Amino acid sequence: MDYERVNSLPELHRPYTAAADRYEHFGYRRVGNSGLLLPPLSLGLWWNFGDNRPFDAQREVLRHAFDSGINHFDLANNYGPPAGSAEENFGRMMRKDFKGYRNELVISSKAGYDMWPGPFGSFGSRKYLISSAEASLQKLGVNYVDIFYSHRFDPKTPLEETIGALDTLVRQGKALYAGISSYSAERTAQAAQIARDLGTPLVIHQPSYNILNPWVEHGLLDTLRDEQMGAIAFTPLAQGLLTDKYLNTTEVQRQGGRRSLEAHLTEENLTKVRRLNEVAQSRGQSLAQMSIAWLLRDGAATSVLIGASSTAQLDENLGALQNLEFSSEELAQIAEIAQGDAGIDWWKASAIG
């Protein structure tokens, strides 16, 4: 090897060796009663890892995440934009940097939302789920994913068929564990029983969950405990509302991009956000850090899915792990501030079933 030439390359283009201390930053959490362990923070590749961002920018964040102990990367067939590009880009990352670390990584994917035209390009049919899983493996360049999810409940396909498809993927060795996302408590219990009867238990549920949208605390978390399943929360920061980005907002501003927050930037919600920020400051945390810590408190989420467009943003979120303890007074204050419907329920509707 020409070491002089290699050392002259920009750091991102040098051969990657993961940080030796990557597993010394925090403990890993058991998912339900399974043998699967997840970091308290997992990296979701929903938006910042499609073709909308330079690959080197993605690569920097992914390397930093793994060096920091985040070994779980969460994808879906439709992540991008455009749909599918996040899996393709992560496949490039596997070839360039992560190939030698495959046994350390937890890679997850899902199928359930619109992906291709025709009657078999969405929801939960056996044909769609298995076809999508095959396509995801090809894009990712791996032989299996660690977790494969039914991304949403399909009201027109028998639940036995949807869960049976997950069972098939596990038995074929194309997924090590099976999970569901955005299922109601009732549907979760039904799905878990079907899976148990098939011999491939569901180990994890991925719901939308944050301080302003705690719907899972009204039944779903109890069901997950009963079924001995883990929970991994997405939208922990309510699409940015639970950050300092809107603390000084005084009027509704249209937000371009993946999903508009215009309807949620009401004075009532902004007042809640400002009051929550005061609680966070009293704890020595940013609003985002407290919001993540709140999800990781005892009895809530096993792991929290964060998004990050930069290493600085990733480090900000990792800072939440420095204080995960809440007093009863703080929890009561947060509950009092957040009570009522903030309207942050974009995915709850798909969980009603």
Q: Decide if pLDDT at 156 tops 70.
A: yes
**Residue 250, in any domain of the structure:** no
What's the CA gap between 34 and 106, in Å, rounded?
Answer: 14
Distance of CA 29 to the CA centre of its chain: 15
Q: Decide if pLDDT at 93 tops 60.
A: yes
- Give strand pairing partners of 41: 304
* Residue 254 pLDDT level (bands cut at 50, 70, 90): very low
**Residues contacting residue 6 through CB under 8 Å, at least 6 positions apart:** 14, 15
Pairing label, strands 175-181, 37-38 = unpaired
- Residue 253's Cβ-count burial label (10 Å; 0-12, 13-18, 19+) is exposed
In tens, the pLDDT along 184-226 reads 999 999 999 999 999 999 999 999 999 999 999 999 999 999 9
Average pLDDT over residues 167-189: 98
Q: Decide if pLDDT at 352 tops 90.
A: no
Average pLDDT over residues 140-147: 98
In tens, the pLDDT along 4-32 reads 444 545 677 889 999 999 999 999 999 99
300 vs 347, higher pLDDT: 300
**Residue 340, in any domain of the structure:** no
- Decide if 107 contacts 67 (C-beta within 8 A): no
Number of structural domains in the chain: 1
Q: Decide if pLDDT at 350 tops 60.
A: no
Q: For 258, what's the count of Cα atoms within 13 Å in the CB-facing half-sphere? A: 17
Range of the domain at 156: 3-238+296-309
Q: Tell me, what CATH number does 118's domain have?
A: 3.20.20.100
* Residue 264 pLDDT level (bands cut at 50, 70, 90): confident
**Residue 87, in any domain of the structure:** yes
**H helices within the chain, ranges in order?**
3-8, 55-67, 85-93, 126-140, 159-171, 185-198, 220-227, 267-282, 287-295, 311-318, 328-338, 348-351
**Residue 338, in any domain of the structure:** no
**DSSP-derived 3-state class of residue 156:** coil
